[in-house]
Amino acid sequence: MKEILGTTGLVMNEPLLWEKGGNGRCGFSMPRRDVESSPIDEGLVGPVPDFPELSEVDVVRHYTRLSQWNYGVDTGMYPLGSCTMKYNPKVNEKYASLPGFTGAHPLLPPSMVQGALKLMYDLERFLSEITGMDTTTLQPAAGAQGELMGTMLIYAFLRSKGEHRSKFLIPDTAHGTNPASVSLCDFHPIPVKSNEDGILSPEAVAEVMDEDVAGILVTNPNTLGFFEENIREIGEIVHGKGGLVYCDGANMNAVMGIVEMGKIGVDVMHLNLHKTFSTPHGGGGPGSGPVCVKKHLEPFLPVPRVVQEEGTYRLSSEYPDSIGKVHGFYGNFGVMIKAYSYIMSMGPENLKKASQLAVLNANYVKESLKTVFNLPYDRPCMHECVFSDKKLNVHKITTLDVAKRLIDCGFHPPTIYFPLVVPGAIMVEPTETESKETLDEFIETCKIIANEAEETPDLLHDAPKNAKVQRLDEVTAARQPCLAD
């Protein structure tokens, strides 16, 4: 049997900064004081904080060691379903760090930031073209905020027609943020069941669609990794009763340059620039969730908007029906630069090819592992495939055990226990940037783990053994988080 990849090595333990260093140690030589010293008045500033005293090398080693405890796309495969953890080319970082961009203050007059405004203007148009929609706003900071904002557009649109509706349809294969977003906008989420193929049927939608439903929020491709093939017919049913179709486009990585959402009945959708358009994410860093709309929703988009007149760009707030602002200034500009750089460096043909490869890779993993794990929906998938732990349960092995054992073997675990329609789900999204060798290593490792489940189940129950932090008591970890060390 092939030796599995390990994760052991020179990984250092590291105390808190406060537990290191020594009195008077300093990493910086202050210039000689040329005024009288005066004590800090604690009455004015409060107690003086207890700053650690450290040398430069103490600080550099501290943060370098902490960074070595981390695992990211630059370390290895990160098949986290519904998250599109693709490799992000470094050229995007290079352009995002150009001094003209990093030094630009958002309050500079437009005449001094024509380049930045042009980039936003062009990016809006690129995204409209890629999705087949009419207009785009770059303001929302994440997918979930895009959902909320898109739902607010639907609310504003209906209100402009003198209507107030109270319900929103949410399929059972939706992303978890979808029902939360419509609830925040004061709609009541109504669940819709998917069929035996893992997609929505027009009949199921027709059954719950009525004149009190504002719209449907369809994650497409959905969280089972399937394209909602009936979306056009579903759109007709929803539109027929005066509702609108919102597409959660966070999984656009499967269909870039292939599906024009605007042509299949979608009124509004969001994209996740930090997933599909290549910005590193997962550590809570800035994201961007642009919202693309058809013409009828355009008047309600947030302000200010970038407008262009005879080659000159400016910001305009002259949109009386706008829902207002949803983010400080214009959104997360750094993420926009990376998306622009990614789109420009790929070009239309390669964007389409990226989607094709993402789909190919997911299907390769699905076909290679479908006899190893249980595959609840055995049909061609898009960007991700969903297995379950059904076959492993006879050995008292669960999805969590497999995920933890993968850590020992040098792979970031897939998304687990989601989507909820598959009990014990193992959701694998390999993305287009993994080579066949890496996919084969992952597949081989999964086969070894499935074999261990049968022969040496304790190896899985006790995993991870090679990682810095071993199996956690997840309940206590959630109920009594230890935030100090």
How many angstroms separate the CA atoms of 430 and 361, rounded? 6
Q: Which is nearer to ligand PLP, 123 or 392 (CB)?
A: 123
CB of 244 to ligand PLP, least distance (A): 18
CB of 226 to ligand PLP, least distance (A): 13
CB of 376 to ligand PLP, least distance (A): 19
Q: Which is nearer to ligand PLP, 15 or 284 (CB)?
A: 284
Q: Which is nearer to ligand PLP, 21 or 413 (CB)?
A: 413
User: Of all helices (H) and strands (E), which one includes residue 291?
Assistant: strand 291-293
CB of 40 to ligand PLP, least distance (A): 42
Neighbouring-strand partners of residue 80 = 428
Q: Which is nearer to ligand PLP, 276 or 374 (CB)?
A: 276
CB of 143 to ligand PLP, least distance (A): 2
Q: Which residues of 449-483 are buried (b: 16+ CB within 10 A; e: fewer)?
A: bbebbeeeeeebbebbebbeeeeeeeeeeeeeeee
Neighbour tally for 31: CB within 10 Å: 5
Q: Which is nearer to ligand PLP, 177 or 431 (CB)?
A: 177
Q: Which is nearer to ligand PLP, 217 or 460 (CB)?
A: 217
Query: In what order do the strands lie in the sheet containing 425-428?
Result: 385-388, 425-428, 415-416
Q: Which is nearer to ligand PLP, 99 or 284 (CB)?
A: 284
How many angstroms separate the CA atoms of 224 and 472, rounded? 28
How many angstroms separate the CA atoms of 457 and 471, rounded? 15
Of 441, 442, 466, 462, give the one whose Cα is nearest residue 453: 462
Both tokens of 71, joined, read: 């695992």
Does residue 369 sit in helix, strand or coil? helix
Q: Which residue is nearest to ligand PLP (CB)?
A: 143
Residues that bind ligand PLP (CB under 6 A): 82, 142-144, 175, 177, 219, 248, 250-251, 272, 287, 289
Q: Where are the beta strands (DSSP E) in 364-432?
A: 385-388, 415-416, 425-428
Of 325, 323, 326, 319, give the one whose Cα is nearest residue 154: 323
